[in-house]
Amino acid sequence: MQDMPQVGVGTFRLEDDAAHKSVVDALKVGFRHIDTAQVYGNEEQIGDAIRTQNMDRDDIFVTTKVWFDHFGNDSFIESVHESLAKLKLEYVDLLLIHWPSPNDKVPMEQYLSSLKQAKDEGLTRHIGVSNFTIAQMEKAVEILGEGEIYTNQIELHPYMQNRKVAERAEELGMKVTAYMPFAVGKVMDSDELKDIAAKFDASPAQVTLAWMVQKGYYTIPSSTNPDHIKDNFEFDKVKLSEEDINRIDELDNGERIVDPDFAPEWD
C-alpha cells in the first residue's frame, strides 16, 4: 500500500479547465499526490486529468473528503461511490472527514463509523480527518482506536503554525497535512523568506515547502501556473539549517485564514 507523498497538489478553488490543467501539469512534472474534495466541485475534472496520463494506479495517491451534508448513515457511503464515479477510480488512497459536524449535529461516532465502513468496503485505503481540534482528535482515536486515523489535515503555514494541534496529532500517531502552506501567497512577500531563499537561488515558496518537509509535515500547495507548479516540485534543492528553520518558526503570529462560521472552537 502506497504511503502518502510528503508534498502533493491541492485543488481547492480550482474549477473546470483550470482544475484539469493544473493536475495534468502537476503529474507531468512528477507530483504523485492529488488532493480534492466533494465540495470543491472538481472531482470529475481531476478524474479526467488523471486518466489522460495513463499512469499505473499504484503510482498515484488520491485524496478526497466527505462534506458534512453526507454524514447521515444513508448518504455517506453513497456520496463516496459518487466521488469514485466522478474520479473514475475504484478506490481513493485517502478519504477524509472534511470538517467535524457543525455543533455536533451528527454524532462523531456515527460519521466515523461510516468512514471506517468505507475503508472496510475497499472504497479507500486510508482514512483521516481534517480541521479537527485536539479534543476532537482525541475523541476520534477513542472511537476508532489507535492507528486508524492516517492524518489530520489542518491550516498550517509560517504565519499560523498550529503547533499544539500538530504536536498532539503526532503524539496520537497521525500525520500532519498542512493546507494553504503559502498563506494565499503571503509567504512570497516575506522579507525573511526572501532572504533565506536568496542563499539557495530559490523562491520563498520552495523555502516554505523545505521547512514543512524538514519539520516532518505533509503538504498540498496549489497553483494554476505551470512554472510555479514546477518550482514547487523542485523545492528539495533547499536544505535549511537549524538557524533558517528557527527564523521561519519565529514568523508565527497566529494568523488564521480559514475560519468559516461552522468551524469548531479552535485550540
Residues carrying an active site annotation:
40
Please report the domains of the chain, with CATH numbers, ordered by start residue.
9-249 (3.20.20.100)
Task: Say what the pLDDT of residue 222 is.
Answer: 94
Give CA angle at 183 (179, 186), nearest 5°: 160
What is the 8-class DSSP label of residue 219?
E
CB atoms within 10 A of CB 56: 6
Task: Say what the pLDDT of residue 1 is.
Answer: 60
Cα separation, 36 vs 42, in Å, equals 7
pTM (two decimals): 0.97
Decide if 126 contacts 87 (C-beta within 8 A): no
157 is in an annotated binding site: no
Decide if 128 contacts 219 (C-beta within 8 A): no
Task: Say what the pLDDT of residue 258 is.
Answer: 97
Residues of the chain with pLDDT under 50: none
Q: Is the dihedral of CA 238, 244, 246, 249 positive or negative?
A: negative
Phi, psi of 179 (to 5 degrees): -100, 160
Task: Say what the pLDDT of residue 73 is.
Answer: 73
In a 3-state reduction of DSSP, which class is residue 110?
Answer: helix
Cα separation, 51 vs 3, in Å, equals 21
Task: Say what the pLDDT of residue 32 is.
Answer: 97
Task: Say what the pLDDT of residue 2 is.
Answer: 74
Using a 10 angstrom Cβ sphere, with 0-12 exposed, 13-18 middle and 19 or more buried, the burial of residue 224 is middle
The CA-atom distances, in angstroms, between 52 and each of 8, 21, 23, 31, 189 are: 19, 11, 10, 15, 36
CA-wise closest residue to 163 among 214, 215, 112 = 215
Decide if 161 contacts 252 (C-beta within 8 A): yes
Interacting residues of 115 by C-beta distance below 8 A, sequence separation 6+: 66, 76, 95, 97, 127
Cell 482544475, residue located: 19
pLDDT (tens digit per residue) in 111-167: 999 999 999 999 999 999 999 999 999 999 999 999 999 999 999 999 999 999 999
